[in-house]
Structure 1
Amino acid sequence: MEALTRIVVKAVEAGLFGDLASISPLQRISVYADDVVLFLKPLQGELWATRHILSLFGEASGPHVNFRKTTATLIRGSHEEEERTARILGCELAAFPIRYLRLQLALRPLTKAEWQPLLDQVTKSVPGWQRGLISREGRLVLINSVVAARAVHQMVVAEAPTWMLEEINKWMRAFFWADPERPWQGLPGLKDPEAEGVFQSLAQFTVGDGRLTYFWRDRWIGGYTAEELAPEVFARVPTRRRNSRLVAEALQEDVWIDDIHGEMTVDLWMQCLNLWEAVEEVEKDSTRPDSITWKGVESGTYTAKGTYKMLCQGGIRWAMSKPVWGSFSPMKCKVFAWLTLRYRLWTSDRRARHGLQEHPDLCYICLQEEDNVDHIFTLCPYARQVWYRVLRSANLRIADPGFTGNLQRWWTEARKRVRRFDRKRFDTMVICTAWTLWKQRNARAFGNEREQKTVEQVLVQVRDDFHLWERAKRGGRLGAARE
């Protein structure tokens, strides 16, 4: 790379490159490993000279410049200069801000959206769950040497806004002062009012020694909470006391009365007296611990499955839930099938609806119809050939999905013609075929020629993947199937 620098300096001295204000010939090029930045004017002579210099350097040294992976950025250039640059250099044009050596370079102050990736990079440099596995001295070194260094690196070229510095400092403080016994400390707390209401309505507390039940929050007073029995009294209790006062502590010499702040009125005394009487009527057994009975399930013990089943009572079951989630395909393929049937794949028609592109593209395989879910998996001639070959290789006399034009409708009708004990294998075969078609579509959409396959090759791929998934179901190469 030193030779390239010397060639550029010689080109400046020979007049192939014009002078740039406040820049010496040596500063015209910045080289770090295989990352190179070259400053020049968008004139025809300088552009051709740059292309020839880079080509000759590649022929002489070995490392050739891939102009397809090279970008040119103009500093306040005209439209004519942009066209000239793209035509001569044969590379893509990139607008500011651009990234070089992980630095965000721009002509104007960066927006909050442009600063956010750097903030994410800083906070994700060390996963939060590791804080409990590192000593405090180690955390201090890690913060000063790694986390803070990333932010300082960006501030070499741009002044960070106040909000970003505060976010970084906040994350570093939480990481440094973490309690090793509480690795979740510092993570954002999510509190769903609806979920809390469901919990309060289904959880029934039986007080024993009072060391697990909260006096002000839990539903332990005859099936009621203190807030429901005495709302004005509850409003006078500080939040910190509501969230920390246990029944065992509150009932010692009626300490809970001291939690009530403010002037006591007649109505407040009446509610306080009613609450005291209700508390006295609760049966307590200090010889056993508190217990919680979950009314959402028959056993009285909380389970996620039982609670979810109870919450979904009365709902409409999706007809394709069993074919999708009951198959023995990998989880990522099940999620893919669910997204496909719900029309949630990011095809070009959906991108256009969301304003991510102006118009839907044509199918990347056949270039005939619009790129959408129905066409990719049922109507595309390539897909119809694949389905025909797959169904024939499985000895199934079923028409391909192209006759219906809708994958879910075809799948529902086709599985009825399959024997009941073979339907799970049929569902897996459908997901495997659709998954392979989607990968072929993406290989053409992103120009990955190595992954593009013919119909015969796709048939082999579907057969191999299906047998691998089936083997994983029987306890074989499960890890390989997951990949």
Structure 2
Amino acid sequence: MPGFKETVQLAWSAPSTHTQQDHSINHKLKATALGLKSWSKSLFSDCKLQLLMALDVILQLDITQESRDLSFEERNLRADLKRRVKGLAALERSRKRQASRIRYLREGDANTKFFHLRVNARKRKNHILRLKHNDGWAVTHEEKDKLIFDHFCQALGRPPPRQLDFNWEALNLTSHSLEDLDLRGGYVIAIDPLQRILEEATSSGFLHAMPGDLTGPRISLYADDAAIFLTPTVHDLDGLANILQQFGEVTGLVTNVAKSSITPIQCSNVDLDGILANFPAVTVPFPIKYLGLPISLGRLKRADLQPYIDKAVARLNPWKGRFLNRAGCTALVKLVLSSMPIFLLTALKADKGILKAFAKISRGMRWACQETVSGGKCKVNWQKVCRPKELGGLEILDLEKISRALRLRWLWYEWTAPEKPWVGSETPIDASDLALFNAATTVTIGDGAKASFWSSSWINGTPPKDLAPLIYVASKRKNRTVRDALEGHNWVADILVEAFTIDHMEQYVRLWDLLSAVQLSPGTEDSIVWTLTPNGCYTASSAYKAQFFPALPCSFGNIVWKPWPPPKCHFFAWLAVQNRLWTADRLAKRGWPHQPSCQLCRCSPETARHLLFECRFSKRIWIAAASWLDCPDLIRCLGAGRSRVLDYWHAIAKTPTSSPKGLRTAIMLISWEIWKERNERVFNNKSSLPLVVMQKIKDEGKDWVLAGAKNLADLIG
């Protein structure tokens, strides 16, 4: 490397004011280190430019060699440049490694974009870099866009003039503004007349009306997926085929009958083969899949939802987890697996077996990067892992709780959007969902036509069934509205009790007194407020967090999640403060192989508390760290007598210092390096002196500062 020997020689021969030999050598080493630091900066700054220039000259010489022989000087230049490229490439590789480490510390597995790029590194990117056109290439987005558009216009051509059109006046459709119309909006306008055509065909007798008491829409449309309900007769099927054919001729949206399917509903006494003779669609029995959801006439079986579990297993391949640390696996579970069943859980009430299967996959990937995992490898109870961070968990979604929170939107929309077509139909709500909804809402009575008398929270924010539970049980009509129940005191007439006890009478009188002050307001609708948000509107997040109300806040949130370390150190601290590290005492409880004594001092039994704070090896590191951090009072916190790691952590964090936030980051850094030293001795049979470990702490601290640990920078300078 050019200038290396000269820089070392100049720094080593610089005059020193020290007279003692050891001080003089120390001065020379410091001067040499500073000189090499300045030399490396100048070298690395030009390294990439020199490398590119050398490669370009070599390329030009290779091109020249194809047409003539190189001269002696040119061959020597090429050989010298090849040797030079090797050195420059090594320097560039070192620079990139350091830069990537700083970026990893800064972003790590907590950054969604960086995380997904890392996990999906082997997946081919769906991006067209360039397109060949005649003798040139289209590289910009505009050029590629125009080239693709011209190609398909030439290949597909323009449709012929339409021979048919709609009778727009008869359809009586809402007019739309065509300004700033996108592709999706244009499709909606084109497909919208189909619903009106089917309604007109039904009213004119061209199609039979919906059987029985069914009053819902005949067709369900979303994008290009359409579900049409039809009476199983030859007349109706031929009429539908004629409508779809003419609709395609007008709009160009032609129905592909070969890809369509027919699912019979209670058609056991109908000759379907004869009816479908002229309609070549495939007959598919229930359950079917529509808009990504399984649909069945009865209760869905476990086998009907198994494809969703198989999809999750295929997505969380174990080989991906092996390239990630524990914090990365946590992000993988939170961002990928937890989001996959959300759509399913919003629309359906999934069986508990399905939820347990998803939780089993999440637990296996989280703790062991496997599809399944035994209980021995799970360091923390899964119910606690799924809690929010302020309650001591990792904020992995509890699927049972989030599914209940998502289902509450059905009840909310029944109140706030009664115009939705599904209102009045059966919804996937159970008694627990209704109880949570009533507890999270307050109803203000207007005319009483919408609120439920027993279930809605309309008496001082409390439902009557909680005020008078015995009367509620005795009532034979529990679905009355407030207006219906109060009219003529119908709620009293509904009470049916064989033995009317004193408790019944007490609750009856109390409820009667409360209801006597209620005055309905005809013409004013009942209103509802969601009490868990400031704006009074439902959110799934607030409904999810409300289900954790019985849990107490944890005492380690500020010291684990507030400091700035890489995500893996957050996870290490989360385990350490709960005494969930695999130290000898916990390995002994499991009956697993272990060394009973501490691997740092080899004197005392190994526990997390002893290893991090009470061991004489660790104390020497903490004493050196007190000097490095300029916190002399820190040493007083290391005395024995504290029973938990969390107690030591709190005591050290309260030490007077210029930067309390920086001190909490430093505590995590020092504990992390002590744990790494312990693992080096256990698994790699390598040991280091306390001074060496302290130097590692200082070097790692500098990297953390470069990566963004501003509070730590305020502490160590």
TM range (shorter): 0.3 to 0.5
With the length of structure 1 as denominator, give the TM-score of the two structures: 0.43
**Greater CA radius of gyration, 1 or 2?**
2
With the length of structure 2 as denominator, give the TM-score of the two structures: 0.32
